[in-house]
Structure 1
Protein backbone atom coordinates (compact mmCIF):
# COMPACT_ATOMS: atom_id res chain seq x y z
CA UNK A 1 0.00 0.00 0.00
CA UNK A 2 1.41 3.37 -1.03
CA UNK A 3 1.85 5.96 1.71
CA UNK A 4 -0.40 8.99 1.38
CA UNK A 5 0.89 12.37 2.51
CA UNK A 6 -1.24 13.63 5.37
CA UNK A 7 -0.71 17.15 6.59
CA UNK A 8 -2.32 19.50 9.04
CA UNK A 9 -3.09 21.87 6.15
CA UNK A 10 -5.18 19.15 4.49
CA UNK A 11 -6.88 18.49 7.83
CA UNK A 12 -7.90 22.16 7.98
CA UNK A 13 -9.54 22.07 4.58
CA UNK A 14 -11.17 18.69 5.16
CA UNK A 15 -12.76 19.89 8.42
CA UNK A 16 -14.03 23.08 6.76
CA UNK A 17 -15.47 21.14 3.82
CA UNK A 18 -17.08 18.46 6.01
CA UNK A 19 -18.41 21.18 8.33
CA UNK A 20 -20.41 22.77 5.54
CA UNK A 21 -18.25 25.83 4.90
CA UNK A 22 -19.43 27.32 1.59
CA UNK A 23 -17.34 30.52 1.55
CA UNK A 24 -13.72 31.08 2.47
CA UNK A 25 -12.50 34.66 2.73
CA UNK A 26 -8.77 35.36 2.86
CA UNK A 27 -5.84 37.66 2.28
CA UNK A 28 -3.23 35.47 0.52
CA UNK A 29 -0.96 33.78 3.06
CA UNK A 30 1.57 30.96 2.69
CA UNK A 31 0.36 29.26 5.86
CA UNK A 32 -3.14 28.95 4.43
CA UNK A 33 -2.00 28.15 0.87
CA UNK A 34 -3.33 24.57 0.87
CA UNK A 35 -6.83 25.57 2.05
CA UNK A 36 -6.91 28.51 -0.35
CA UNK A 37 -5.88 26.35 -3.31
CA UNK A 38 -8.32 23.60 -2.36
CA UNK A 39 -11.17 26.10 -1.97
CA UNK A 40 -10.42 27.63 -5.35
CA UNK A 41 -10.58 24.15 -6.91
CA UNK A 42 -13.81 23.15 -5.16
CA UNK A 43 -16.99 24.06 -7.05
CA UNK A 44 -19.01 23.95 -3.80
CA UNK A 45 -16.92 26.65 -2.10
CA UNK A 46 -16.72 30.29 -3.05
CA UNK A 47 -13.30 31.79 -2.42
CA UNK A 48 -13.26 35.51 -1.65
CA UNK A 49 -9.95 37.33 -1.98
CA UNK A 50 -9.80 40.33 0.37
CA UNK A 51 -7.79 43.53 0.22
CA UNK A 52 -7.79 43.74 4.02
CA UNK A 53 -8.79 41.26 6.70
CA UNK A 54 -11.52 43.44 8.17
CA UNK A 55 -13.53 42.94 4.96
CA UNK A 56 -13.59 39.25 5.84
CA UNK A 57 -15.61 39.90 8.99
CA UNK A 58 -18.33 41.41 6.79
CA UNK A 59 -18.09 38.55 4.29
CA UNK A 60 -18.54 35.95 7.04
CA UNK A 61 -21.48 37.87 8.56
CA UNK A 62 -23.09 38.33 5.14
CA UNK A 63 -22.69 34.65 4.32
CA UNK A 64 -24.54 33.76 7.54
CA UNK A 65 -27.36 36.19 6.69
CA UNK A 66 -27.55 34.53 3.27
CA UNK A 67 -27.84 31.06 4.79
CA UNK A 68 -24.27 29.87 4.32
CA UNK A 69 -21.38 29.01 6.60
CA UNK A 70 -18.12 30.87 6.01
CA UNK A 71 -14.65 31.08 7.51
CA UNK A 72 -12.03 33.83 7.50
CA UNK A 73 -8.41 32.79 6.98
CA UNK A 74 -5.79 35.33 8.06
CA UNK A 75 -2.39 35.89 9.58
CA UNK A 76 -1.95 37.21 13.11
CA UNK A 77 -0.89 40.60 11.77
CA UNK A 78 -4.35 40.91 10.20
CA UNK A 79 -6.15 40.55 13.52
CA UNK A 80 -5.26 44.15 14.36
CA UNK A 81 -6.97 45.30 11.18
CA UNK A 82 -10.26 43.70 12.30
CA UNK A 83 -10.77 45.10 15.79
CA UNK A 84 -13.45 47.64 14.88
CA UNK A 85 -15.35 45.14 12.74
CA UNK A 86 -15.31 42.56 15.53
CA UNK A 87 -17.86 44.77 17.31
CA UNK A 88 -20.35 43.81 14.55
CA UNK A 89 -20.07 40.18 15.62
CA UNK A 90 -20.84 40.95 19.24
CA UNK A 91 -23.61 43.48 18.57
CA UNK A 92 -25.42 41.25 16.08
CA UNK A 93 -24.52 37.91 17.68
CA UNK A 94 -23.22 36.48 14.41
CA UNK A 95 -21.45 33.13 14.58
CA UNK A 96 -17.84 33.60 13.49
CA UNK A 97 -14.94 31.31 12.66
CA UNK A 98 -11.46 32.48 11.82
CA UNK A 99 -8.26 30.49 11.40
CA UNK A 100 -5.18 32.55 12.17
CA UNK A 101 -1.65 31.58 11.17
CA UNK A 102 0.69 33.03 13.74
CA UNK A 103 3.70 35.25 13.15
CA UNK A 104 6.09 36.79 15.64
CA UNK A 105 6.75 33.47 17.35
CA UNK A 106 8.96 30.55 16.41
CA UNK A 107 12.07 31.61 14.49
CA UNK A 108 10.54 34.90 13.34
CA UNK A 109 12.91 36.94 11.20
CA UNK A 110 10.74 40.05 10.84
CA UNK A 111 10.64 42.24 13.97
CA UNK A 112 7.50 44.01 12.70
CA UNK A 113 5.56 40.77 13.24
CA UNK A 114 6.41 40.53 16.94
CA UNK A 115 4.10 43.08 18.57
CA UNK A 116 0.85 41.82 17.02
CA UNK A 117 1.93 38.20 17.31
CA UNK A 118 2.37 38.62 21.06
CA UNK A 119 -1.01 40.33 21.41
CA UNK A 120 -3.21 38.37 19.00
CA UNK A 121 -4.82 36.10 21.60
CA UNK A 122 -5.48 38.96 24.01
CA UNK A 123 -7.00 41.17 21.31
CA UNK A 124 -9.35 38.40 20.18
CA UNK A 125 -10.38 37.64 23.75
CA UNK A 126 -11.00 41.32 24.52
CA UNK A 127 -13.34 41.41 21.53
CA UNK A 128 -15.34 38.46 22.85
CA UNK A 129 -13.90 35.77 20.59
CA UNK A 130 -13.05 32.37 22.05
CA UNK A 131 -9.46 31.41 21.30
CA UNK A 132 -8.19 27.88 20.64
CA UNK A 133 -4.57 27.14 19.85
CA UNK A 134 -3.03 24.34 17.80
CA UNK A 135 0.66 23.65 18.34
CA UNK A 136 1.10 20.13 16.91
CA UNK A 137 0.10 18.80 13.49
CA UNK A 138 -1.85 15.89 14.96
CA UNK A 139 -4.18 18.16 16.95
CA UNK A 140 -5.11 20.68 14.23
CA UNK A 141 -8.08 18.80 12.77
CA UNK A 142 -9.64 18.13 16.17
CA UNK A 143 -9.24 21.73 17.33
CA UNK A 144 -10.58 23.24 14.09
CA UNK A 145 -13.50 20.80 14.19
CA UNK A 146 -14.37 21.69 17.77
CA UNK A 147 -14.23 25.42 16.96
CA UNK A 148 -16.40 24.91 13.88
CA UNK A 149 -19.06 23.06 15.88
CA UNK A 150 -19.01 25.68 18.63
CA UNK A 151 -19.43 28.37 15.98
CA UNK A 152 -22.28 26.95 13.98
CA UNK A 153 -24.09 24.77 16.52
CA UNK A 154 -23.80 27.07 19.55
CA UNK A 155 -23.59 30.41 17.71
CA UNK A 156 -20.22 31.30 19.24
CA UNK A 157 -17.36 33.39 17.89
CA UNK A 158 -14.13 31.38 17.62
CA UNK A 159 -10.56 31.80 16.48
CA UNK A 160 -8.07 28.98 16.02
CA UNK A 161 -4.47 30.14 16.30
CA UNK A 162 -2.19 27.96 14.21
CA UNK A 163 1.27 28.13 15.76
CA UNK A 164 4.11 29.44 13.63
CA UNK A 165 6.01 26.25 14.44
CA UNK A 166 3.43 24.31 12.36
CA UNK A 167 4.42 26.30 9.30
CA UNK A 168 8.13 26.15 10.01
CA UNK A 169 10.86 28.69 9.64
CA UNK A 170 10.25 31.49 7.20
CA UNK A 171 13.29 32.70 5.35
CA UNK A 172 13.92 36.11 3.91
CA UNK A 173 15.11 35.76 0.35
CA UNK A 174 16.62 38.48 -1.78
CA UNK A 175 15.91 38.50 -5.47
Structure 2
Protein backbone atom coordinates (compact mmCIF):
# COMPACT_ATOMS: atom_id res chain seq x y z
CA UNK A 1 0.00 0.00 0.00
CA UNK A 2 1.26 3.45 -0.90
CA UNK A 3 2.11 5.97 1.80
CA UNK A 4 0.21 8.53 -0.28
CA UNK A 5 -3.46 8.54 0.69
CA UNK A 6 -4.56 11.86 -0.79
CA UNK A 7 -6.70 11.86 -3.89
CA UNK A 8 -4.55 12.89 -6.81
CA UNK A 9 -6.07 15.49 -9.06
CA UNK A 10 -5.06 17.73 -11.89
CA UNK A 11 -1.74 17.31 -13.67
CA UNK A 12 -0.30 15.16 -10.88
CA UNK A 13 -2.76 12.33 -11.53
CA UNK A 14 -0.85 11.27 -14.67
CA UNK A 15 2.60 12.62 -13.79
CA UNK A 16 4.08 11.93 -17.26
CA UNK A 17 7.45 12.90 -15.80
CA UNK A 18 7.43 10.11 -13.17
CA UNK A 19 8.41 7.25 -15.56
CA UNK A 20 11.22 9.38 -16.97
CA UNK A 21 12.67 9.97 -13.51
CA UNK A 22 12.10 6.34 -12.50
CA UNK A 23 13.99 5.12 -15.60
CA UNK A 24 16.85 7.52 -14.87
CA UNK A 25 17.06 6.30 -11.26
CA UNK A 26 17.11 2.69 -12.48
CA UNK A 27 19.81 3.48 -15.07
CA UNK A 28 21.90 5.14 -12.34
CA UNK A 29 21.55 2.05 -10.09
CA UNK A 30 19.74 3.99 -7.36
CA UNK A 31 18.61 1.35 -4.85
CA UNK A 32 17.08 3.51 -2.11
CA UNK A 33 14.55 6.31 -2.50
CA UNK A 34 13.39 8.30 0.51
CA UNK A 35 10.53 10.76 0.78
CA UNK A 36 8.04 12.53 3.00
CA UNK A 37 4.63 11.52 1.62
CA UNK A 38 3.59 14.04 -1.04
CA UNK A 39 0.82 13.87 -3.64
CA UNK A 40 3.11 15.51 -6.21
CA UNK A 41 5.56 12.59 -6.12
CA UNK A 42 2.84 9.94 -5.62
CA UNK A 43 3.20 8.17 -8.96
CA UNK A 44 7.00 8.11 -8.75
CA UNK A 45 6.79 6.84 -5.16
CA UNK A 46 4.45 4.02 -6.23
CA UNK A 47 6.81 3.07 -9.07
CA UNK A 48 9.83 2.99 -6.75
CA UNK A 49 7.91 1.05 -4.10
CA UNK A 50 6.88 -1.57 -6.68
CA UNK A 51 10.42 -2.04 -8.03
CA UNK A 52 11.99 -5.22 -6.68
CA UNK A 53 15.50 -3.76 -6.88
CA UNK A 54 14.65 -0.53 -5.05
CA UNK A 55 13.76 0.19 -1.43
CA UNK A 56 11.37 3.06 -0.67
CA UNK A 57 11.77 4.68 2.73
CA UNK A 58 9.17 6.96 4.29
CA UNK A 59 10.65 9.86 6.28
CA UNK A 60 9.13 12.02 8.99
CA UNK A 61 11.11 15.05 7.79
CA UNK A 62 13.26 15.76 4.74
CA UNK A 63 16.58 16.23 6.51
CA UNK A 64 16.45 12.56 7.51
CA UNK A 65 16.78 11.86 3.78
CA UNK A 66 20.17 13.55 3.63
CA UNK A 67 21.42 11.33 6.44
CA UNK A 68 19.90 8.29 4.73
CA UNK A 69 21.56 9.16 1.39
CA UNK A 70 24.89 9.58 3.21
CA UNK A 71 24.50 6.25 5.00
CA UNK A 72 23.52 4.50 1.77
CA UNK A 73 26.65 5.83 0.06
CA UNK A 74 28.86 4.75 2.95
CA UNK A 75 27.21 1.32 2.73
CA UNK A 76 27.91 1.03 -0.99
CA UNK A 77 24.48 1.92 -2.39
CA UNK A 78 23.09 4.86 -4.32
CA UNK A 79 20.12 6.74 -2.95
CA UNK A 80 17.89 9.66 -3.96
CA UNK A 81 15.66 11.98 -1.95
CA UNK A 82 12.26 13.09 -3.25
CA UNK A 83 10.87 16.27 -1.76
CA UNK A 84 8.75 19.34 -2.35
CA UNK A 85 10.33 22.79 -2.38
CA UNK A 86 8.82 23.51 1.05
CA UNK A 87 10.96 20.67 2.44
CA UNK A 88 14.22 22.28 1.32
CA UNK A 89 14.01 24.74 4.21
CA UNK A 90 13.99 21.80 6.62
CA UNK A 91 17.32 20.57 5.20
CA UNK A 92 19.57 23.62 5.39
CA UNK A 93 21.69 22.50 8.33
CA UNK A 94 22.00 18.89 7.10
CA UNK A 95 23.09 20.04 3.64
CA UNK A 96 26.40 21.11 5.21
CA UNK A 97 27.18 17.40 5.70
CA UNK A 98 27.29 16.88 1.94
CA UNK A 99 29.95 19.51 1.29
CA UNK A 100 31.99 18.70 4.39
CA UNK A 101 32.16 15.00 3.59
CA UNK A 102 31.97 15.20 -0.22
CA UNK A 103 28.99 12.88 -0.35
CA UNK A 104 27.22 12.31 -3.66
CA UNK A 105 23.60 13.44 -3.37
CA UNK A 106 20.69 13.46 -5.78
CA UNK A 107 17.35 15.03 -4.93
CA UNK A 108 14.29 15.57 -7.09
CA UNK A 109 12.33 18.61 -5.90
CA UNK A 110 8.79 19.36 -7.02
CA UNK A 111 8.44 23.12 -6.95
CA UNK A 112 5.57 24.97 -5.31
CA UNK A 113 4.80 28.67 -5.04
CA UNK A 114 5.04 29.23 -8.78
CA UNK A 115 2.66 28.69 -11.70
CA UNK A 116 -1.00 28.90 -10.58
CA UNK A 117 -0.16 28.39 -6.89
CA UNK A 118 -3.27 28.47 -4.71
CA UNK A 119 -1.53 28.30 -1.33
CA UNK A 120 0.16 31.58 -0.30
CA UNK A 121 2.26 29.71 2.30
CA UNK A 122 4.13 27.93 -0.52
CA UNK A 123 5.29 31.09 -2.32
CA UNK A 124 8.14 32.24 -0.05
CA UNK A 125 9.96 28.90 0.13
CA UNK A 126 9.32 28.25 -3.55
CA UNK A 127 11.06 31.53 -4.33
CA UNK A 128 13.94 30.78 -1.93
CA UNK A 129 14.55 27.13 -2.86
CA UNK A 130 17.14 27.54 -5.67
CA UNK A 131 19.22 30.09 -3.74
CA UNK A 132 19.02 28.10 -0.48
CA UNK A 133 20.34 24.98 -2.22
CA UNK A 134 23.06 26.86 -4.08
CA UNK A 135 24.26 28.69 -0.94
CA UNK A 136 24.71 25.27 0.68
CA UNK A 137 26.80 24.04 -2.26
CA UNK A 138 24.12 22.04 -4.09
CA UNK A 139 24.11 22.41 -7.87
CA UNK A 140 20.57 23.07 -9.06
CA UNK A 141 19.19 22.05 -12.44
CA UNK A 142 15.77 23.50 -13.18
CA UNK A 143 13.50 21.62 -15.59
CA UNK A 144 10.77 23.66 -17.27
CA UNK A 145 10.05 21.36 -20.24
CA UNK A 146 9.27 17.64 -20.17
CA UNK A 147 11.52 17.00 -23.18
CA UNK A 148 14.53 18.23 -21.17
CA UNK A 149 13.93 15.89 -18.25
CA UNK A 150 15.52 12.63 -19.47
CA UNK A 151 18.88 14.08 -20.56
CA UNK A 152 19.10 16.32 -17.50
CA UNK A 153 18.29 13.44 -15.12
CA UNK A 154 21.02 11.35 -16.73
CA UNK A 155 23.45 14.25 -16.46
CA UNK A 156 22.50 14.92 -12.83
CA UNK A 157 22.95 11.26 -11.86
CA UNK A 158 26.39 11.18 -13.50
CA UNK A 159 27.43 14.40 -11.77
CA UNK A 160 26.16 13.19 -8.40
CA UNK A 161 27.44 9.63 -8.36
CA UNK A 162 30.55 9.82 -10.53
CA UNK A 163 31.83 13.23 -9.37
CA UNK A 164 30.65 13.02 -5.73
CA UNK A 165 28.57 16.19 -6.07
CA UNK A 166 25.30 17.29 -4.44
CA UNK A 167 22.76 17.84 -7.23
CA UNK A 168 19.11 18.97 -7.10
CA UNK A 169 16.71 18.61 -10.00
CA UNK A 170 14.00 21.27 -9.63
CA UNK A 171 10.79 20.34 -11.44
CA UNK A 172 8.99 23.60 -12.22
CA UNK A 173 5.36 23.90 -11.28
CA UNK A 174 4.52 24.94 -14.85
CA UNK A 175 5.90 21.61 -16.11
CA UNK A 176 4.23 19.64 -13.32
CA UNK A 177 0.91 21.43 -13.58
CA UNK A 178 -0.79 23.26 -10.76
CA UNK A 179 -1.90 21.28 -7.73
CA UNK A 180 -5.63 21.30 -7.14
CA UNK A 181 -7.50 20.23 -4.06
CA UNK A 182 -11.01 18.85 -4.02
CA UNK A 183 -13.33 20.07 -1.30
Question: Which residue of structure 1 lines up, in the alignment, with residue 50 of structure 2?
Answer: 41
Determine if contact 1:97/1:151 at 8 Å carries over to the other structure.
yes
Question: Which residue of structure 2 lines up, in the alignment, with residue 29 of structure 1?
Answer: 38
Determine if contact 1:96/1:158 at 8 Å carries over to the other structure.
yes
Please show how residues 1-175 of structure 1 align to structure 2 within 5 Å. 7-174=16-183
How far, CA to CA, are the matches of 2:71 and 2:41 in structure 1?
22
Q: Note the C-alpha offset of 1:173.
A: 2.4
Kindly indicate whether structure 1 or structure 2 has the higher relative contact order, using CA contacts under 8 Å at least 6 residues apart. Answer: 2
How far, CA to CA, are the matches of 1:171 and 1:95 in structure 2?
34
Determine if contact 1:8/1:138 at 8 Å carries over to the other structure.
no
How far, CA to CA, are the matches of 1:29 and 1:53 in structure 2?
11
1:142-171 alpha-carbon deviations (Å, 9 max, x no partner): 111111000011111100000011221222
Regions of 4+ moved over 2 Å:
none
TM-score (norm 1): 0.94
Q: Note the C-alpha offset of 1:31.
A: 2.1
Q: Note the C-alpha offset of 1:83.
A: 0.3
SS in 2 for 1:44: coil
Determine if contact 2:15/2:43 at 8 Å carries over to the other structure.
no
Q: Note the C-alpha offset of 1:91.
A: 1.0
How far, CA to CA, are the matches of 1:37 and 1:172 in structure 2?
20
SS in 2 for 1:60: helix
Q: Note the C-alpha offset of 1:44.
A: 0.6
Unaligned runs of 5+ residues in structure 2 are 1-13
Q: Note the C-alpha offset of 1:9.
A: 1.5
Unaligned runs of 5+ residues in structure 1 are none
Question: What is the alpha-carbon root mean square deviation over aligned residues?
Answer: 1.3
